[in-house]
Amino acid sequence: MKKLVSEFIGTFALVFAGTGAIVINDTSGGTITHVGIALTFGLVVLAMIYTVGDISGAHLNPAVTLGFFAARRFPAKEVAPYLLSQCAGAIAASAVLRFLFPLHATLGATLPAGTAMQSFVLEAILTFLLMFVILGVSTGAKEKGITAGIAVGAVIGLEAMFAGPICGASMNPARSLAPALVSLHMENLWIYLIAPVIGAVAAVFACRCVREEGCCCAVSLAGEAGK
């Protein structure tokens, strides 16, 4: 239960701060800026890794959970509870933002600026790189590694900074599902549910190719999440 509560709170924080930055940027005339939004996503993930990483692994992302499962280092019985906790936390955050900003149209929902295929490929590649980094800095030990939070937060901020204007740089099905459901903007939602999972699973195989057993022994970002 502690793991599930940690995933709920961590994903709530991610969506509340990240999509909240988008909403506040829109309502304040762009004071946060695109760079500020990207940094918000990266920093909140960094903070949550150090806060709950040793409890739940700080997945905060269904694609990451499925990636660890594909690496055979996360038990199948915990996959569904993790996914439900993450989605519930994200939806709760979007519900709070709807209460605070009832006139905002999308609540930070991810919508492609270009073609659907363009955003699909971008999301798959971005999540591939994210999961590749996560597997590379994870140790599987019950400790909070300093480099894990910095590396993962940095890659999220980096990818959001350069790819956000085109595809939204979600890399996280829960992050996209919540504002889409609450704002009823579910067009092209399939992109952000499917592409990140494909990218995360592909990263597992790529990690095995370059690191063999050294990387894929990982269980979590900063702790042993599967036990």
Tell me the CA distances in angstroms from 47 to 121, 150, 182, one per residue in order: 29, 9, 26
Task: Give the predicted TM-score (pTM) of the model.
Answer: 0.88
Banded pLDDT at 147 (limits 50, 70, 90): confident
Kindly state the percentage of the chain with pLDDT values over 70.
Answer: 89
Banded pLDDT at 213 (limits 50, 70, 90): low
Sketch the domain layout of the chain as residue ranges: 2-216
What is 2-216's CATH number, 3.40.50.720, 3.40.50.970, 3.30.379.10, 1.20.1080.10? Answer: 1.20.1080.10
pLDDT in tens, 55-92: 888 899 999 999 999 988 788 999 999 999 999 999 99
Give the mean pLDDT of 171-191.
Answer: 95
Q: Which residues contact 57 (CB under 8 A, 6 or more apart)?
A: 3, 68, 219, 220, 221, 222, 223, 224, 225, 226
